[in-house]
Structure 1
Amino acid sequence: MEEGLALHHIGVRFGGLTALDDVSLRVPPGRVVGVIGPNGAGKTTLFNVICGFVAPETGSITLDGRPLRPRPHRLTRLGIARTLQGTGLFAGLTVLENVMAGASHTARAGFLPALLGLPRSDRDEARLRRHALDVLDELGVAAHADAAPGTLPFAVRQRVALARAFAARPRLLLLDEPAGGLGGEDIAELAQLIRQLPQRAADPCAVLLVEHHMDLVMSVCDELVVLDFGRVIAAGTPDEVRDDPAVTDAYLGASVDEAAA
């Protein structure tokens, strides 16, 4: 049986605009797959199809070889988590509460016990709190657990957003431009973190990465898929993609590395 997430000949149109045209890709377990391309290439639409925000007109999605019709509110139960451009944190919650919200689908008590403050709900909250603190500690930001996200530097907020995604114990993590707004040192730390995700002793996960920072992409990805005007124009290892003339043309005659500068 085919393992992992796979997109088969996906097509999306918005009115007269073709956003995705016959796009196929696969994210196997234990791999980091990157999606790159110029602005407007269809990268965000691709993520929105996987998350169920956009329904494809043609093609299909499978998870472990079985048909998948994703719905945004069911993603975490399927083992899929996503970070957003920016951070997408809840301003009215503390850092710890944000991360606990990422794991709320694992709560066993349900809504009514939580509403009534029953003991089972208290035990559930304590378990989620311990798990959230463990994830924050793993990412080096546990000291900020009680802070409001808006009071923290952007790089720290990015780590909190990642912690919220990790708290869901995903098998597949969708990273949407996680290096945006980060400096060189923070990007290097992010790269190290992404490389470790598929090999984590606890809760390993595959990664699908959309990113403009080519140094990051080339250093962490096992495979790359290049989109241009909604079509796949190249796919392969980072070295294969870097040397592909179609990729160079898509980046307006610059090398892939220069285009990201």
Structure 2
Amino acid sequence: MTEASGAGGLRLRDVQVRFDGLVALDGVDLDVAPGQVVGVIGPNGAGKTTLFNVICGLQRPQRGTLTFEDRPLRPRPHRLTRLGIARTLQGVGLFGGLSVLDNVVTGASVTARTSVAAALFGLPRAGREERQLREAARALLDELDIAGYAHALPATLPYAVGKRVALARALVSRPRLLLLDEPAGGLSQAEVEELAGLITALPQRDGCAVLLVEHHMDLVMKVCDRVTVLDFGRVIASGQPGDIAHDPAVIEAYLGEAVTT
């Protein structure tokens, strides 16, 4: 884990989202600095998914501001990677008809500069970019120790391998902010330990900032520099993992008992 500070990164201030009178997010403040891993935890219905949807542009807040790299963030889901933001989904979410390699390539395709015409007519520039994308995808598969599955279809993959493919697809665009949505869900304890090593290494990628929503507390306490706790849409605690693990309000609302860090 790292201690990161300074300009840039993601900043939310006083973010509020309401659904027909139900307050999903109520005045939420959140910071994720470059090179940091920040966790968001809380009971079901606390607002974690809504928070991710706001950052991704799937949900507009009624109040509050978002900035990324010191600029106002007004995200559109289909343009996230152009902004330097990538997200994994709960579960796996791979394209069933594409090979593992092609699934990873799709994560970078929207950032490629090749025009549609160049790609359609097979112009040299399109071919060069396609080769570069596939080389980057192969390198990530090798880095995540799943290169042997490059030509396999998602339905044939062990679940933990599918999770790594989804991570590779998010990383291939070289995001400066990576949103991880319950990456440990469905993994064994040994697989969670391996995932912890992968997440801990992510900030070394050009100072990548990581925002992690997760229920697996061992993972949260191991990889996060800071943790924010939501309950009924409000931030009830924010701080270092050791402090959060023993916070009375957090124990009452979510943990049930103090967590060993």
Alignment TM class, shorter chain as reference: over 0.9
Structure 2 CA distance for aligned equivalents of residues 243 and 123 of structure 1:
54
Deviation at 1:92, TM superposition (A): 1.0
Deviation at 1:256, TM superposition (A): 5.1
Cα deviation, 1:194-248, whole Å, max 9, x if unaligned, reads: 0111124xx4411100000000000000000000000000000001111111101
Structure 2 CA distance for aligned equivalents of residues 64 and 113 of structure 1:
32
Structure 2 CA distance for aligned equivalents of residues 192 and 3 of structure 1:
25
Deviation at 1:18, TM superposition (A): 0.6
Q: Which residue does the alignment assign to 2:26?
A: 21
Query: How high is the TM-score relative to the length of structure 1?
Result: 0.95
Structure 1 CA distance for aligned equivalents of residues 68 and 254 of structure 2:
32
Matches of residues 14-163 of structure 1 in structure 2 within 5 Å?
A: 14-163=19-168
Q: Which residue does the alignment assign to 1:210?
A: 213
Deviation at 1:47, TM superposition (A): 0.2
Structure 1 CA distance for aligned equivalents of residues 129 and 7 of structure 2:
35
Q: Which residue does the alignment assign to 2:17?
A: 12
What SS does structure 2 have at the residue aligned with 1:147?
coil
What SS does structure 1 have at the residue aligned with 2:164?
helix
Choose which of 239, 254, 257 in structure 2 pairs with 1:255: 257
Question: Is the 1:23–1:232 Cα contact (8 Å) retained in structure 2?
Answer: yes
Structure 2 CA distance for aligned equivalents of residues 54 and 163 of structure 1:
26
Which amino acid is the alignment partner of residue 193 of structure 2? A
Question: Is the 1:214–1:256 Cα contact (8 Å) retained in structure 2?
Answer: no
Structure 2 CA distance for aligned equivalents of residues 198 and 256 of structure 1:
28
Deviation at 1:4, TM superposition (A): 0.8
Structure 2 CA distance for aligned equivalents of residues 107 and 70 of structure 1:
19
Q: Which residue does the alignment assign to 1:242?
A: 245
Structure 1 CA distance for aligned equivalents of residues 188 and 156 of structure 2:
19
Structure 2 CA distance for aligned equivalents of residues 18 and 256 of structure 1:
28
Q: What are the ranges of 5 or more consecutive residues in structure 2 without an aligned counterpart? A: 1-5
What RMSD over aligned residues (CA atoms) do the two structures have, in Å? 1.3
Q: Which residue does the alignment assign to 1:219?
A: 222
Cα deviation, 1:15-45, whole Å, max 9, x if unaligned, reads: 0211000000100001000000001100000
Q: Percent identity?
A: 65
Aligned residues: 255
Q: What are the ranges of 5 or more consecutive residues in structure 1 without an aligned counterpart? A: none
Query: How high is the TM-score relative to the length of structure 2?
Result: 0.95
Structure 2 CA distance for aligned equivalents of residues 102 and 236 of structure 1:
32
Question: Is the 2:246–2:259 Cα contact (8 Å) retained in structure 1?
Answer: no
Cα deviation, 1:97-119, whole Å, max 9, x if unaligned, reads: 01011111332322111112222
Deviation at 1:189, TM superposition (A): 0.3
Q: Which residue does the alignment assign to 2:234?
A: 231
What SS does structure 2 have at the residue aligned with 1:103?
helix
Structure 1 runs of 4+ aligned residues shifted over 3 Å read: none
